[in-house]
Structure 1
Amino acid sequence: MKLEIVIPALNEQQSIRSIIERCLDARERIIAESPVTEVSVTVTSDGSTDDTVPIAREYQDRINLIVFEKNRGYGAAIMAGWNASDAQLLAFLDADGTCDPLFFIKLCNALDQQQADIALGCRINPQSRMPLTRRIGNFGFAMIMSLFSLSRIKDTASGMRVVRRQCLPKLMPLPDGLHFTPAMSSRAILARDLRIIECDMPYSEREGESKLKVVRDGIRFLHVIVTNALLHRPSRPLGLIATACFLLAWIMMIYPIYNYTQTGTVLEWMIYRFIAADLLASTAILLWCGGYLGRKAVDIALSDNPARDKHLGVFGWLMTSNWFWVITAACLAIGTLLVGEALLNYLATGEVHEHWSRFIVMAFFVWIAVVLLITRSLDYSLSLLADRLQYLRNPRTTAAEPDVQRA
């Protein structure tokens, strides 16, 4: 099993010699102490304008060297090295001297023993010398990512990791810039068919000036995390917003409900609360249904077995059970009862004397019924699509017609 170590470098003349020599020296121990049988080292100069390339060329008989004439990005530099290799295990580490190449021993062993797809070195540990601002940033990004997934990693942007080549198509496309690493982490965590693990590693102060800009790259990191959540788990971000809207709607209605239970009346000024709460609760219902349909569409599109993934979770069960019709009918019945008398009076006299609050509540329950019916229709269409995709990916063999004796 071959390991390809790619070192992306942009103006790293202060540290490039040291990291190349440390990688070359580590090869023998990596082979002796892990399942790896061969190690190759590639340096990719990402448009360096200092002496990074001349220094790397001194080792060209023992390493592979790729030179970008112009800066194309951290991720592009790594991918160029990986694409030029035939290794089964693809790795990289930063050129700034912060990571120890010998740690690839632990990462390769963990990847093999735990049958993972990606193993990364975690810099968030007591032995780490990571600057405080980066610690805080990594903690924040890890917390955000944990909201969208049941699993969690502490170091979303680790600059040292090992990836199985066979899982690379499931990770692509990845961005070219510094947000290459958080994009990979978030995609691996959110995808149902990928497994990512992390191992605590020592981390030292970098040599030279950091290329990371806290605000600019922090915004990019956040963007890729949210984007990947919408790609793989759209029900999570939409569900969080829906829950917040629904809770806010209930908070707004606490006093009107309490007042009604005590006095049997609704005060006129409460119309603003009724309308706002109705809007928030209706938005929540729409977001929950949209999140469910989005999740189902994603799972059907990305799954190797679409028919298996066409009914997921409690919402999926509800869409196919008799309780769906019970809930829908109940919502329509409640709405009808609230304004039924007013409707009959209007048909008879052309006048309406019912209180406005009944119409707002009626509109909410009817809205629930309509959204559920539309969701059920779209859910059925997606189920038909899942069956069709399953057939196209695994065509059934058409049974031969039995022999027929002809007269």
Structure 2
Amino acid sequence: MAKNKPSLSIVMPCLNEAENLKTLLPQLISAQPNADILVIDDGSTDASKAICEQHGIKVISHPHSLGNGASIKTGARNATGDIIVFMDADGQHDPDDIERLLYKLAEGYDMVVGARQSSSHASTKRKLGNAIFNKLASFMTGQKIEDLTSGFRAVRAQHFKKFLYLLPNGFSYPTTSTMAFFRSALPVAYIPIKAGKREGKSKIKLLKDGLRFFIIILKIGALFSPMRLFLPASVVCFLFGVINHIDSYLSSGTFSNGSLFLYVASVFIFLMGILSEQISSLHYRNSENVDS
């Protein structure tokens, strides 16, 4: 007997995207007529909600703006599909690419991310910033990450919902969810996409949110792959201690306080890494008990 086809929910966070929704919603309905489309209105002050209702789209409204990540969590909690596709409401993501995400997911993956081609980035600064984040996250996870911050992805709902409590309320839910899937040994794949240019002003501030992404990557690295963060730091401290020790001995025949400090710091950082590894293991024990 053939297995039933998995049901599909499409979740779109929305903040003042009325103009983009006028064009996007008809295309989305045409591309995925059987999907449960859910728009999360994050405190919009324009006609976003009214336009969705005109097209028969279900809308859940926040009383005020709670953040992109908060909208993702609201959408995931209310999505009924076995598979959830997350996409932006600003017109950057092509509804026709959803089918490509689903085909790749059907190959046995638990998350498929639409990786933006280099020509899709709005500026050279954003392109460079994303490249740096991808390299750092790849190091933290030990897996190649082609687009860490892409908000266009298909996931298996049963796995994604396990990590909702980890997701921040801001713009970095893709970062956290990607690294969480890798840490849980849930297979992740990428397909190349060409993101369109959004109409209107982006809600992301390059410097402010870039710093937040960097800090979040370090936090996630410490939580999910602690020794990848702490071990190199410990080794660097130890090597600087050795260098300082040799320099002090050759110049004055003494053992300097600086060397002692670096040796002690190296040991403490290493022990923090071991402790973090144990905490990380306990943290994931509960997640792994959820039915897969």
TM-score, length basis structure 2 = 0.88
Q: Deviations over 1:201-251 (max 9, x none)?
A: 111211111111112212221222122122222222211211110121122
Structure with greater contact order relative to length (CA < 8 Å, sep ≥ 6): 2
- Identify the residue that residue 49 of structure 1 maps to in structure 2: 45
Contact 2:114 2:191 in 1 (8 A): yes
1:147 aligns with 2:139: yes
Following superposition, the deviation at residue 15 of structure 1 comes to: 0.5
- Identify the residue that residue 117 of structure 1 maps to in structure 2: 110
| Unaligned segments of structure 1, at least 5 residues | 29-37, 260-265, 307-389, 391-407
Alignment of 1:272-287 (within 5 A): 272=256, 275-287=257-269
Following superposition, the deviation at residue 64 of structure 1 comes to: 1.3
Amino acid at match of 1:72: L
Following superposition, the deviation at residue 281 of structure 1 comes to: 1.9
Of residues 120, 129, 139 in structure 2, which corresponds to 1:137? 129
| Unaligned segments of structure 2, at least 5 residues | 1-5
- Identify the residue that residue 26 of structure 1 maps to in structure 2: 31
Q: Deviations over 1:375-404 (max 9, x none)?
A: xxxxxxxxxxxxxxx9xxxxxxxxxxxxxx
- Identify the residue that residue 94 of structure 2 maps to in structure 1: 100
1:222 aligns with 2:214: yes
Paired positions, count: 284
Secondary structure class of the residue paired with 1:253 = helix
**1:132 and 1:203 mapped to 2: Cα distance?**
15
Amino acid at match of 1:45: D
Choose 1 or 2 for highest CA Rg. Answer: 1
Amino acid at match of 2:35: V
**1:66 and 1:225 mapped to 2: Cα distance?**
30
Q: Deviations over 1:103-144 (max 9, x none)?
A: 11111111121x222111011x24524322221121121122
Decide whether aligned partners of structure 1 residues 14 and 229 sit closer, same or farther in structure 2, where only a CA change above 3 A counts. Answer: same
1:91 aligns with 2:85: yes
- Identify the residue that residue 59 of structure 2 maps to in structure 1: 65
Following superposition, the deviation at residue 304 of structure 1 comes to: 6.7
1:177 aligns with 2:154: no
- Identify the residue that residue 3 of structure 2 maps to in structure 1: none
Of residues 282, 293, 296 in structure 1, which corresponds to 2:275? 293
Contact 1:130 1:203 in 2 (8 A): no
Give me the CA root mean square deviation.
2.4
Contact 1:253 1:277 in 2 (8 A): yes
Secondary structure class of the residue paired with 2:221 = helix
Contact 1:93 1:99 in 2 (8 A): yes
**2:151 and 2:184 mapped to 1: Cα distance?**
24
- Identify the residue that residue 10 of structure 1 maps to in structure 2: 15
**1:127 and 1:102 mapped to 2: Cα distance?**
19
Secondary structure class of the residue paired with 2:35 = strand
Secondary structure class of the residue paired with 2:17 = coil
Decide whether aligned partners of structure 1 residues 118 and 251 sit closer, same or farther in structure 2, where only a CA change above 3 A counts. Answer: same
Of residues 190, 214, 230 in structure 2, which corresponds to 1:238? 230
Secondary structure class of the residue paired with 1:137 = helix
Contact 2:11 2:79 in 1 (8 A): no
- Identify the residue that residue 76 of structure 1 maps to in structure 2: 70
